[in-house]
C-alpha cells in the first residue's frame, strides 16, 4: 500500500458500516447466495474482513464489517451480555 507515493507496511484495520439490504446473507461466503461481503468493492476488501453480528437474510439494518478481531470479539463475546432489543 502507498500513502502520498510512499510505501507503508503493516496491517490496516478497516471498519465499514453497511445498511444491509433484504435478500443478502450476513456471512463471509456462500456458494449459492449473495453475501454482505459480495457487496464490498474489490478495492475495499481486506484480508480477514467479516460481519460483526448477524441479521437474517430478509432483514435490513445497520451492520458492522471489520477485520479488527479484537473489536469483533469484544462486541460478540457472550460474557459482555449485550441484550438484543425486543421490538
The residues annotated as belonging to the active site are 56
Put residue 53 in one of left, alpha, beta given phi > 0 → left and psi -120 to 50 → alpha.
Answer: left
How do the residues of the chain divide into helix, strand and coil, expressed in percent and rounded to 5?
A: 20, 25, 55
* The three grid cell numbers given for residue 19, joined into one nine-digit string: 445498511
Amino acid at each position: 500500500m502507498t500513502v502520498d507515493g510512499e510505501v507503508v507496511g503493516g496491517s490496516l484495520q478497516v471498519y465499514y458500516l453497511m445498511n444491509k439490504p433484504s435478500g443478502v446473507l450476513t456471512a463471509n461466503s456462500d456458494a449459492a447466495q449473495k453475501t454482505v461481503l459480495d457487496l464490498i468493492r474489490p478495492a475495499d476488501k481486506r484480508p480477514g474482513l467479516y460481519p460483526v453480528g448477524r441479521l437474517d437474510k430478509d432483514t435490513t439494518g445497520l451492520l458492522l464489517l471489520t477485520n479488527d478481531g479484537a473489536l469483533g470479539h469484544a462486541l460478540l463475546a457472550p460474557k459482555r451480555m449485550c441484550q438484543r432489543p425486543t421490538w
